[in-house]
Chains A and B, each alone.
Chain A
Amino acid sequence: MAGKDLRIEWRSRVTTHQILPFAVLVILLFGMALDPDRGILARASSGLFWIAVLFCSLLAIQRAFTIEAADGGRDALRLSGLDPAGVFLGKAAAIAVQLIALEIVLALGVVIMYGAQITGFLLLLATCLAATAGLAAAGTLYGVLAAGLSVRETLLPILLLPVLAPVLIAATRAFEAALGGVAVEGWPWCGLLAIFALLYLIFGTLAFGTLLEES
């Protein structure tokens, strides 16, 4: 499942040619809005990084469910006999891989353009992984909810973003610790991210069958 989604993404180049440039653009726009006074940008870099990731993940999630909308792909998926839990985990994994790629580019952008200093590399890595797992799990769950609705572009953000607020808070705090702060302070936040991801992975695995039936 993950392989199929990633192959589609690789061949269509939508992620690399549209979502990725969008992410870089967001970073640039923040720079313009906040004046390239490096003091502000460097201090706010962790928050801006995760806001950019959040917006890009909305695009990636919508993309993940529109690739199936055409040609009755979703019916084929339902008839394929695959375990819904497997479909959920596959979709989430594909989104997670794309998000990780996005985060690497964004992190480079933040370091180069905002002048952020990485002090806790391990924490940075762990935070990225845990936050991405949470984003992908919750995103896949809410993505399939909104998929197939005529208003999905507008509905998904108001359903999903409040749910992802804890991820934003925790990931930003952990990043602040990793970018120039005391790394020890970041680990509890990282734990919170891991718990969030775990909760949504479990719930998604259980509930995805019901949701896939009707989307």
Chain B
Amino acid sequence: MTTPLAVPVGRATTGSRATRWLGILTLAGLGLLVWCAFWWSPPDVVQKDAVRLLYVHVPTAIVAFTACFITTVASAMWLRRKSEGWWVLGLASAEVALVFTGVCLLTGAIWGRITWGTYWDWDPRITSTTMLFILLVGYLALRRIDGESGDVGQRGGRSAVVGLLLFPNVLIVHFSVDWWRSLHQTATITRLDPTIEGPMLFTLVLGIVVFSMLFVWLLIHRFRLAWLDERVGVLGLDDAIRARRSEAHDPTPGGTS
């Protein structure tokens, strides 16, 4: 994970042969998913056409929570190793997680409106996912402040500690909300028919695969962009040092070094 990415200066792109292929495959997968979700798979007996939203909702939820987990692992590894790769990975993963959490909440609200008749319900999963959204926003706000300070090795563990606590906090919140609600209401609506099969099951699995690919693609690009951003910062610092040194050696301003 921490191997430096060989991006030559001057050709600053976040694409590579592998990611281009991954991108094409993801696009094709998304096309196939759209066809499967809208035409091939039948409407649900109970949920009717609303079930088609779940082909986006469930995969984004899975990806969002996976991405949070990656941020927590990256934060822990950064605290141990202090290497730039883990630092950048934490940021990239959290940003993508925020987007997927947003999509998950949005599709969930629309689905809930159609199926339950309400956009919002005090369901443990909705509540804890919303809390996750806010936790991610807070983490990214702190990251922005931390990222502004100089070299990666000297950066504080502030945002790393918050990142480390991200996933455990989501678990604690989820557990407490779950317990809180289950004391109040015994019968919760089963959100997904456990006995789905055939085209519907295939479409759901396809959705999970395609959204995972999309996640990896986004993560790699975001990672490389953040990495280049770090390089720009380092280059700027090096330039400043060089300019200062040449000033000291060469009395004429703007001397070469």
Contacts and interface: CB of A to CB of B under 8 A. Distances in A.
Given A173-B183, A211-B158, A162 B131 contact: yes
Interface in B131-151: 131, 134-135, 137-139, 141-142, 145
Contacts of B156: 210-211, 213-215
A151 interface: yes
A28 interface: no
B161 A210 contact: yes
B142 A210 contact: no
Q: In terms of DSSP, what is the predominant structure of the interface of chain B?
A: helix
Contacts of B135: 162-163
Interface string B118-132: 000000000000010
Contacts of A170: 176
Interface residues of B, number: 26
Given A166-B173, A214-B157, A214-B158, A159 B142 contact: yes
B157 A211 contact: yes
B180 interface: yes
B139 to A, nearest CB: 8
Contacts of B169: 162-163
A158 B137 CA distance: 8
Contacts of A185: 183
A184 interface: no
B161 A211 contact: yes
Contacts of A192: 176, 179
Given A163-B165, A163-B169, A207-B161, A169 B142 contact: no
Interface string A170-186: 10010000000000010
Contacts of B161: 141, 145, 207, 210-211
> Of A149, A166, A173, A192, which is in contact with the most chain B CB atoms at under 10 Å from its CB?
A166
Contacts of A158: 134, 137-138, 141
A203 B175 CA distance: 19
B69 to A, nearest CB: 17
A212 to B, nearest CB: 10
B162 A159 contact: yes
Nearest to A147: B158
A65 interface: no
B176 A166 contact: yes
A155 B142 contact: yes
A159 B179 contact: no
B145 A151 contact: yes
A95 to B, nearest CB: 19
Nearest to A142: B162
B172 interface: yes
A101 interface: no
B130 to A, nearest CB: 9
A166 B7 CA distance: 45
Contacts of A211: 156-158, 161
Interface string B159-193: 00110010011001101110110010000000000
A196 interface: yes
Given A158-B137, A199-B168, 12 more contacts: A141-B161, A145-B142, A155-B142, A159-B162, A162-B173, A166-B172, A166-B176, A170-B176, A185-B183, A192-B179, A199-B172, A215-B156
19 contacts: A141-B161, A149-B145, A151-B145, A158-B137, A159-B138, A162-B135, A162-B173, A163-B165, A165-B173, A165-B177, A166-B173, A166-B177, A173-B183, A192-B179, A196-B172, A203-B165, A210-B161, A211-B161, A215-B158
Interface of B: 79, 131, 134-135, 137-139, 141-142, 145, 156-158, 161-162, 165, 168-169, 172-173, 175-177, 179-180, 183
Sorted nearest first, the 5 A-B pairs with minimum C-beta distance are A214-B156, A166-B176, A210-B157, A158-B138, A159-B138
